[in-house]
Amino acid sequence: MGAVHLYLIRHGESVDNVANLYSALFVGVARVCSAGSRDAPLTNHGVLQAKRLGEHLATRTAAAPAPITHVFSSNLQRAHRTAMLVAPVSSTPSLQTGNADALASSSSDVGRTASTVGVIPLQLAELREKHFGTGEGQRFGARSSGDRHEDAEDHDSMRVRAERFVDEYLAPLFACVEGERDEEQEGASSGTESIIIVAHGIILGVLTRVLLAAGNFGSLATGTPDQQQHFSWSNTGYLLIHVKTMPPAVDAKESAAGSRGGTQDAKWPHLKLEIVEVNCTDHLCGLKKTRGGIGSAKFDEKQKTLSAFFKPTVSKRKHEDS
């Protein structure tokens, strides 16, 4: 592949979001709210948000073209359900399977294509939300600002998880991009792939900072100063990052001096990371929440939609056709 488009996506609305059972903290200067590590399901509205995002990304990745080849998600159901709706199993070639251990054991093959098996979201504990300890399940604002939750996960622990995810799952993909640089210089064309990561507001913020850390890429384009300070995620909002090879002339110039945190001694010195969009929610335009508590209710797969009641049954269709 010649480049990767990383979509860092927050899950759809959950029942704990609606009930204000979350904690909040500041990442940079932006407040990020989260339902913590409780395994809260999506609401009916959250499912609609995810379906809207899936349609939006299908159109966007097809136009690029940059097909979705890998989907990673937290193993909490609100994130995994969102991932399933955003990138449903299709005929897209991918080596990815649902087994994290199997994928990690063959990390050198990550990013290559195999038989047509579809894109299956890979659930990972590394992408779980921060655990708030005794604060889990509490209503936001129940404690004074000076109180701390006991046994809550600290930032260093989340950073370690994020770094492990990058090293085990994203690094092989970046290596593939850098490895094809010589082929591009010889005139061979390389495609672009889209990588979907569905998780939670706080851990996504930590993951973004890990990617932007010095020593990773030869060049960084981190957007406007305002974007740099306001990494935040609405439900199904996404941060879009492009990782691509630098042209030889630009490569030599930027690697020598570094560019906004880039460095000559980087892990991927010939790659440039560029932040393209922050908290994009264009797909939610015009989407209104169903009133009467229906939109905020837990999504039930067995619940029929209104249109389902008006669809003729199989026996009725056969009778009409006869």
Q: What local confidence, expressed as pLDDT, does residue 191 receive?
A: 85
Q: Would you say residue 164 has pLDDT above 50?
A: yes
Rounded distance between C-alpha atoms, residue 251 and residue 178, angstroms: 12
Residue ranges of alpha helices (H) inside the chain are 15-18, 44-63, 77-86, 100-105, 155-165, 171-179, 181-185, 201-212, 225-229, 248-257, 314-321
Asked if omega into 121 is within 30° of 0 (cis), the reply is no
Q: What is the DSSP string of 254-321?
A: HHHH-STT--TT-SEEEEEEEEEEEEE-GGGTT----TTTTTTSBP-TTSPPGGGGGSPPHHHHHHHH
* Range of weakest confidence among 35-44, 251-260, 283-292, 295-304: 251-260
Q: Would you say residue 144 has pLDDT above 60?
A: no
Where do we find the tokens 């390389």? 190
Q: Would you say residue 157 has pLDDT above 50?
A: yes
Rounded distance between C-alpha atoms, residue 307 and residue 48, angstroms: 15
pTM for this entry: 0.79
Q: What local confidence, expressed as pLDDT, does residue 113 receive?
A: 39
Q: What domains are there in the chain, each with its CATH number?
A: 3-321 (3.40.50.1240)
Q: What local confidence, expressed as pLDDT, does residue 173 receive?
A: 95
The mean pLDDT value for 61-65 works out to 91
Rounded distance between C-alpha atoms, residue 145 and residue 131, angstroms: 18
